[in-house]
Structure 1
Amino acid sequence: MMFITVMAFNNFHGDKPLKLGGIIKLVKEPDNKHDTEAIACEMRYFGKIGYVANSTNTVIKGCMSSGRVFDKITDEYYAKIKFITGSTVIAKILSADEFIKEIENPESDVHYLSENPSKIDIEYIKNHYIPDDENDES
């Protein structure tokens, strides 16, 4: 399993986007002026909520940094929130099979976060998303 630390912004008012099981869209930002391996995190209703941590001071032990994940994912990828402490989140990067299950669920936030949900190509996912055997515990 591949876990990431998400450093969420603290400026949420009213409803908070962070909930266990919530889907996070990961968006690469190679033109980010602060970090060329930046990965933004977006959630339904809230838009950008923060970034995948990329510093030894912010990455929680057992999680992968943005730099380690950057070349393993496509420009648009997805993760699921597993743990929350304040504005810090640990999320599991979805495998191809897990993402396909999310697509098959009409209530999944994936349908609202995808740039073009009607054109999600299952074969593309199988060929470009992390296979289950690379995302399993070893």
Structure 2
Amino acid sequence: MEYVDWIEKEIFITLNAFSMFHGIKPFKSGAIIKLTKDTENTYDPEAIACEMRYFGRVGYVANSVSTVAKGCMSAGRVYDKIEDGYFAQVKFITKSEAIAKILTMDEYLEELENPESDIHYLSD
């Protein structure tokens, strides 16, 4: 996998649509999330699915004005800037959403150096 470092600043995304999967329970601060474009999503052509170790698909990156938390980018703004297999790390959790930061190249490489990181189990 090629991890192109397009991120020059901190980019936060809102994760939601949990009720379809496991709810908010799988999320904890520091958890690694794999981002995958869901090209078969009939409701949203810019859908980005979120996957976690042990749980599989846990939700989606928010893509609506009413669901994107203030200060976060929507799936539509991120969709063309990432490749499948990019990763994010959960930073904050509320009752209905999680906020994650997309990893920069340096952060990704740092995670790879950690043999305990979930990144090893989520990589193709």
Q: TM-score, normalised by structure 1?
A: 0.78
Cα deviation for residue 12 of structure 1 reads 3.2
Match for 1:76: what amino acid?
G
Tell whether 2:18 aligns with 1:9. Answer: yes
Question: Whose helix fraction is larger, Structure 1's or Structure 2's?
Answer: 1
Number of residue pairs matched by the alignment: 114
SS at match of 2:107: helix
Q: Using CA pairs under 8 Å that are at least 6 residues apart, name the structure with larger relative contact order, 1 or 2.
A: 2
Matched residues in 2 for 1:46 and 1:12: separation?
A: 8
Cα deviation for residue 31 of structure 1 reads 2.7
Tell whether 2:39 aligns with 1:30. Answer: yes
Matched residues in 1 for 2:108 and 2:116: separation?
A: 13
Cα deviation for residue 17 of structure 1 reads 1.1
Structure 1: stretches of 5+ with no match in the other structure: 116-138
Match for 1:16: what amino acid?
K
Structure 2: stretches of 5+ with no match in the other structure: 1-9
Q: Match of 1:120?
A: none
Judge which range, 3-12 or 21-30, deviates more: 3-12
User: For each residue in 1:76-105, what CA deviation from the matched residue of structure 2 results, as whole angstroms up to 9, or x when unmatched?
Assistant: 110000000023000000000000000110
Which of these residues, 23, 29, 33, is aligned with residue 20 of structure 1? Answer: 29
Q: Match of 1:123?
A: none
Match for 1:102: what amino acid?
E
Matched residues in 2 for 1:35 and 1:12: separation?
A: 20
Q: TM-score, normalised by structure 2?
A: 0.87
Q: Match of 1:65?
A: 74
Bigger radius of gyration:
1
- Give me the CA root mean square deviation: 1.6
Q: Match of 2:121?
A: 112
Matched residues in 1 for 2:42 and 2:22: separation?
A: 24
Q: Match of 2:91?
A: 82
Cα deviation for residue 8 of structure 1 reads 4.4
Extract structure 1 runs of 4+ deviating beyond 4 A: none
Which of these residues, 89, 92, 95, is aligned with residue 101 of structure 2? Answer: 92
